[in-house]
Amino acid sequence: MAINQMPHNIDAEQALLGCMLIDADVQSELLESLREEDFYQESHREILAAMRAIYAARMTIDLVTLTDRLQRDGKLERAGGLQYITELAQITLSAANYRQYFDIIRRDSVNRALIRAARDIIENSMKGPEERESLGFAEKRVYDISKQEDGNKLLGLEDGETVGQVIGRFESIQADPNAFRGLETGFRHLDRITNGLQRSDLIVLAARPGVGKTSFAMNIVENSCLKRKGVAAVFSLEMPRVQIVQRLLCSYANVSMEKALSGQLKQSDWKKLMLAGDKLQKSKIFIDDSSRVTPQEILSKCRRLKSAEGLDLVMIDYIQLMGMEKKYASTENRQQEIASITRELKIMAKELDVPVLALSQLRRIQTKEAQLSDLRESGAIEQDADIVMFINRPDMGATAEEIATGSVVKGAAEINIAKHRNGPTGRIQLRFIGESTKFIDVEAQGEPEEEPVPRRARDASDDEGAAAELPPPPDIPFD
């Protein structure tokens, strides 16, 4: 092969086309897997296109039907003529090695595509675009080639392999209910309902402003990374990086952020902060505080992070601040944009094979308890999400009299799982500790912060004090 020629193997191309002409059993598999651009020689592309048309018409592919089709389309000469087609049918004596011929052709096809992509990347880089645009262009060109090679076939169930996998999964769960437990959130009842945040799931956490969406999401990040040694990518479109770390630090150290910001920390608080800061520095929490980032940019960054460090969780704060490459002007188009964003987030979760926790705002006009219809700007959020959770804080709208009489408990919070595609819905009672911006399980109040810890036995005075401030957690209902 000349040095300036693209990779190709004409003999393999001829042999594979010959296999398809003499053996009908390999035609369906090869026509499903091959693309016209996989062939280097133009005449072979024309022949494959004609074969595909014959197969789509439910006719037998042989020398007669192939030449007839090419002639009717006016492409017989471009395909090499009748003599060349006849030679293809005679050049291969057996189709036994068709898989080897196919592998050679696909190898050269991928290499040609990579060479073309490299040329495009060089040409684009010579134009001197912004760094982000240049990197994004290069990564997308290469990734598009990889994605083409990863396309799944439409498979039946007759081999029993997939059915066996599902039954085996059920058997494992029967023996150990935690066998397929997803990413633990650190909230016992939430993990019980969801069995942890499952890989490839899009989880939407919605609430009105100021209720604690970011705090709850960061509590999950804290648990997965600081207590479970996981890797998380945090994309904060609203809050700067330093404020995210500030919340993480105070929450994990169990120190009042209000006192830290007003210079009222005690010596014991400083010790907690130093220990928490040391653990935070060693954690695998990666934060991006770009003010307007697209799903494509998030996916690009997460691909690189997963390749370098691994990845267990992606958290995005929040959906309505995101944008797409295309600009949308009207309200209707904005709804279409949000729909496109949530669809991309679901695809991202599936491709990265990690749970994606995306925060969302609710419409302000509603005063009743949040419902799925209250998700702001698009019903597509509900449609694409595997789990939709709402945070309710009754004390936020309560009067001083309601707090004093105990009809509304200060700090009480509820997570309402309104949609759960692969399991039950339900309500989980939590407690919000505002000074350290963290949620905890109701029954965990008063327990040591370090994990893992057994529940300590409280004496009668402890129980009496806790009961006065917060009632015991109710049973969790399921829909």
- For 186-214, what is each residue's pLDDT tens digit? 888 888 888 888 889 999 998 888 888 88
pLDDT for res 477: 44
Tell whether 389 is covered by a domain. yes
How far apart are alpha carbons 138 and 143 in whole angstroms? 9
Q: Domain range for residue 389?
A: 188-469
pLDDT in tens, 345-396: 998 898 888 999 999 887 665 556 777 777 766 567 778 889 999 888 877 7
Tell me which H or E stretch contains 314.
Answer: strand 313-317
Query: Domain of 49: which CATH number?
Result: 1.10.860.10
For CA atoms 374, 377, 380, 384, the dihedral sign is negative
State yes or no: is 238 an active-site residue: yes
- Structure tokens given for 183: 């990413």
Q: How many domains does the chain have?
A: 2
Checking DSSP bridges between strand 356-361 and strand 387-392, what pairing results, if any? unpaired
* 106 pLDDT above the threshold of 80: yes
The token duo for 276 is 């928490």
Is there a single domain that holds both residue 199 and residue 90?
no
Domain shared by 251 and 304, yes or no: yes
The pLDDT value recorded for residue 467 is: 36
Cβ contacts of 48 within 8 Å, gap of 6 or more: 17, 31, 34, 36, 39
Domain final position from 149, 172, 197: 149
Q: 315 and 444 in one domain?
A: yes
Contacts (Cβ under 8 Å, ≥6 apart) of 333: none
State pTM to two decimals.
0.62
Same domain, 216 and 125: no
Which stretches of 326-461 are assigned E, i.e. beta strand? 356-361, 387-392, 412-420, 426-433, 438-441
Express each pLDDT in 392-435 by its tens digit. 887 777 677 777 777 777 778 888 998 898 888 888 888 888 77
Query: Is there a single domain that holds both residue 220 and residue 333?
Result: yes
**Mean pLDDT, rounded, of the chain:** 80
Let me know if residue 240 belongs to a domain: yes
Instruction: Tell whether 390 is covered by a domain.
Output: yes
Catalytic residue among 130, 131, 184, 238: 238
Residue 168 domain-assigned?
no
